[in-house]
Structure 1
C-alpha cells in the first residue's frame, strides 16, 4: 500500500525542477518481490524514469520510498502523474500524485520614496516584498544597482516568505544625478532560482523638507565703528538643522565678544536668539551669514543683507551710558521707549539720566528731613 506522498517544492513554477517521493509499506506477513517502480508523466516530465527498473523484495511490515525528479514543462494547472509498482509474482499498485504548476511571482512594491533627491544627499527608499503564491519561497535577497547611485547596503537578505506573507526592506540612497535605480529581488522555489526586477526613477531636485534658516527681528546698535546685531533665527524646514552659527562677512569684520554666535541644533519650527558684534567702518550694509549642517553633515549657508542706514547711533556720556535705539537727535521715541534731547549744541546731553538723578537726590533729602531713615534704622535694631 502507498502510505505517503510528498512533492517538493509544494507548488512548481513553469520550468521548475522538483521531486515526487512515494512511500510504500508491506502490510502483509510475507515478503513481496517488486520488479520495478515507475512514475508515468501525464503532463509533466520525469527525468529519472529508469532509476527503479529493478527493486527487490520488501519484507513484512517494512517500508520503502521512491523519489522521482520531475520538471514542470506544462502550463499552469494541476497534473496527475501515476506511480506504478510492478509486483513480480503478479499484480501491481497504481497511485495518482497531484502536482500543481503555478507561475505567479512574488510582488515587489515601493512603500516609501521621495519624489526628488538632493544632489549627493542621503535619502531612504523602502520596499515591500510579498508572496502571493500558494507555497513558500526562500532565500530572498534584494540587490540595488544603478549608475550615479551609492548604497549604504549592497544587499538585503529577507530569508523565507510563507504564503501571503510580506516583509519590508529599506535602503539609504545617495544619488549624484538623475538616473534609474534597479532592485534585483532573487529567491528560490525549492532548488530553482527566480528573479523579480523593480526599477525606480531617481530625480534630482530641491526639496522643501530640508532645513531652511529664516532670520527675523534684526536690531542694530552702533557705538562708533562698533556694531551689535541681534535677532532670531528660525528653522522653517521639515528636517533638523545642526551646528547652526551666525556671523558676518565682508565688508564687516567680526569682533569680540561675539564674533560668531553658536546656536547649535534647531528642530523644525524651532528658533533661537543671536547676538553678533563686528566693525564695519564706512559700510552702508553688511551681510549676515547663517551657516548650518543637515543630517548627512553637508554644510549650507544663507545670507541676509542688513542695511545700516537705520541703525541707531550710541554716544558716550559717562561710563557705559547708551541712548535708546531709535534716538538720533530728534524728539522721537525708540522701540517701546521715550525719546528726549536738546537741540543745537546740547543735542548730546543725556537729559533723561540727569533728570532721574535729580529726582533721586530730592527724594533722599526729603526722607532724611522727615526722619524716615531713623525710623527704619530703629526698627532693624529691635
Structure 2
C-alpha cells in the first residue's frame, strides 16, 4: 500500500500540469488578384491569366495551462506559424481553351505570403464574357474555386466616351494672295456627350494668317450631334506653291472629367498660274530685204506666280526656215529667248501669229500674239540712180546760180 502512494502522486501532478490547445486558425488560400493580358481578347487570340495566390493565415495560436484544474495558476501560451501546402492549381473552363499552366505539387507558402501563377489561354471563336475557374487544392484545408471574367471582343468593360470627328472643307486650290474660306464640322461619333469643346488654330505657314479669331468655343456636343465652325485665312502673294498646313487643336471634357486633345490639319493647296508675255523682239539684220537670212529673237517673260514648263513657241510666217522654238522652263519674274532662223521672202509687210504653249498647275495653256514684219525690196539699182539724179540736179542748179550772179559785165 505504501509502495503505491508515489505512483498515485505522480499521476495527480501529471493531470494538474497539462497543455490544452485553445485556438488555431485553419490554413486557407485565396486568389488575391489577377491580370488578363490583353484585357480584351479577339476571337481565337492567345492571352494569359496571371493569378496571385495568397496564404490568408497569419499564425496559429496554442495556449498551455499549468496548475490545479480551475485554479488558473501557472498559465502560459505560445504562437506557431502554420504554412499551407498547395497540392494543385488549375484553370477549368468549357469555353476557354487552356493551352498550358495547370500546376501539380506547387508546394508550401507561409502565412501572408503569395505566389504568381500564369495560365496560357486561347479565346473562344464567339464574342462574349466567359468565366473560367481557378481551382486550388490545399492539404488539410478547403479547396478554392475562383471565377475569372474573360472579355472576348465586347465593350461591356469600356467606359463610354465621346469621340469627335473633324470634317474639313476648303477650296480645291487658291492662288497666292487669295482669301481662303474654310469650314470645320465637328461630329460626336462617340457614346457620350463632349463638354467644353474648343478649337484652337495654333500654327500655320508664315504666308497664311487667320482673319477670324484663333480660338473657337463650341460648347457641348451630344452623341451624334455636330456643329460647324467657319474660318477665314489670308495668303500673301509670296505664299509657297503646294500644300500649306494650318494646324488645329481640338479639346473637350469627358464624362469622368478628363480632358482629351486631338490634333487636326487643314491643308490649303496654293497653286500658282504662269503668265507668258513678250518682253522684247529683235531681228538681225534690222532692215530686212528680200532673200536675207534673218534671225528673229522673241524674248518671252513669265509675269505669273508659277513656273511655265515645257514652253514652246511657233510662228506662221510664210518664209523658209525654222519656225518653231523650244524654250523649256521659265520661272516667275524671268525671261528666255525663242530664236527663229528664217529666209526673207518677197518685199512687203507680213502679219503673223506667235503661238506660245506651256504648262502650269492648271494644265496646258496657250497664248497668241499678232505681230508684223516688213521686208524691203532686195534690188538697190533704182535707189542708186535716184540718188545720182538728185546729185546732178543739185550740182547743175549750183553752177547756174553762180554763172548768173557773175553776169557778162563781170567777165
* TM exceeding 0.5: no
What TM-score range do you get, normalising by the shorter chain? Answer: 0.3 to 0.5
The TM-score normalised by the length of structure 1 is 0.40
